Amino acid sequence: MGRLFGTDGVRGVANADLTAELALGLSVAAAHVLAEQGSFEGRRAVAVVGRDPRASGEFLEAAVVAGLASAGVDVLRVGVLPTPAVAHLTGALGADLGVMLSASHNAMPDNGVKFFARGGHKLADELEDRIEAVYEEHRTGAPWSRPTGAGVGRVRTYDEGFDQYVAHLIGVLPNRLDGLKIVLDEAHGAASRVSPEAFARAGAEVVTIGADPDGLNINDGCGSTHLELLRAAVVEHGADLGIAHDGDADRCLAVDAAGQEVDGDQILAVLALGLRERGALRKDTVVATVMSNLGFRLAMEREGVQFVATAVGDRYVLEAMKEKGFALGGEQSGHVIILDHATTGDGTLTGLMLAARMAETGRSLADLAGVMRRLPQVLINVPDVDKSRVTTSAELAAAVTAAERELGSTGRVLLRPSGTEPLVRVMVEAADTDQARAVAERLADVVKSALG
């Protein structure tokens, strides 16, 4: 079988790919791997377990809790909370591991199991591999070592997690949000209670949409993947800005007072300058992926902020931040990591910080986001090609060199093999859309002829 862990935990169609048996077995394996390093020396191991509102989360949570308790781990069930809340509580409560049940921005039938290590940190590849190896070993016949009697784990509902997380969010804000009117689209997801509460406690006038989860409507035509409702609501209510989260609220996109989208690159730019002004942008550097808009890079260069590019995926952004000690990083999708206050992307925190910058400066979001101009970006997927030859084809290299020469300093070319499919992604940025499209189509044709 293929590797169970993907880029963000184990994910699939609930009750088909991701079954109760798989969730239970992975949880026992995770307990053995993540709670074995000294945790059982004189005390019980503890796990924090949370979920988003998907209907399937109910039975999957039961399976995860059963697996952990059967392995001798005490479980704190925090209920429906965002992924970053589970990460925060795992660290704040000194737990040995955390488990979040969510498929993030995916449609309702999907679900996922995401593990956090001590401190609320995402797992390194080697830890995921160990969990998978232990799971496979016991799935194929080797019996688990199971505690009995008083050795089994105890399960407790931990309702205090909600207030602890909200208090954390309010506590790290540099200033209040009084005077701002904000529309929040919660995607009928995990932040449906947390985010409105946090923004209101911070002083904002709050209008909420997409905050009535019924287990079936998560991400359904709303949230960060569908901004139409938020755009309309911001204009209708005369709000200063709108904030959209995804199902597990680790992402944040925004809408200005005129209903125009402000994406993750623009949010990063605004936060970078705000942090630098307060002396909190360590090494005057921001981390983002190779897919970040060239307009972001040019803006940071103009403002004297260093830019570090990573492979696509928030885990690579986080690795670079931790390795070099940087404070801010993120993706165009709105996955922003503010490492002084969170161990992972936190959509509610990002939205609060963005609003705080508006309140602090008295400037509109459109004005603040105007620090960068998004250059037109055209992406073409070229299927059924030999993606392994992207870096070795002389014909393709010559075509890329010619395209880069044509675009000059105000354009960019990126060829990226898909990690999961036999296709190559051709991305071109240019000063205008027509040029970007023309160059992208020309390169896509070369990819087909050279790698087909």
**Would you please indicate which residues are annotated as catalytic (active-site) residues?**
104
104 is in an annotated binding site: yes
* Phi and psi angles of residue 157, each rounded to the nearest 5 degrees, phi first: -75, 130
Q: Which residues contact 26 (CB under 8 A, 6 or more apart)?
A: 4, 10, 67, 113, 131, 135
Helix/strand/coil for 101: strand
250 is in an annotated binding site: yes
**Length of the chain in terms of residues written:** 452
434 is in an annotated binding site: no
Contact 372, 302 (CB under 8 A): no
Give the largest Cα separation in the chain, rounded: 73
CA-CA distance, 45 to 35, in Å (whole number)?
A: 6
CA-CA distance, 242 to 183, in Å (whole number)?
A: 5
Structure token pair of residue 396: 């393709």
Strands (E) located in 347-417: 377-383, 412-417
DSSP H helices in 120-159? 125-139
248 is in an annotated binding site: yes
CA-CA distance, 191 to 404, in Å (whole number)?
A: 43
Among residues 245, 235, 188, which one has the least CA distance to residue 214?
188
Structure token pair of residue 111: 């679900």
Contact 10, 124 (CB under 8 A): no
Pick left, alpha or beta for residue 223 (phi over 0 → left; psi -120 to 50 → alpha; otherwise beta): left
List, as residue ranges, the binding site for Mg(2+): 104, 246, 248, 250
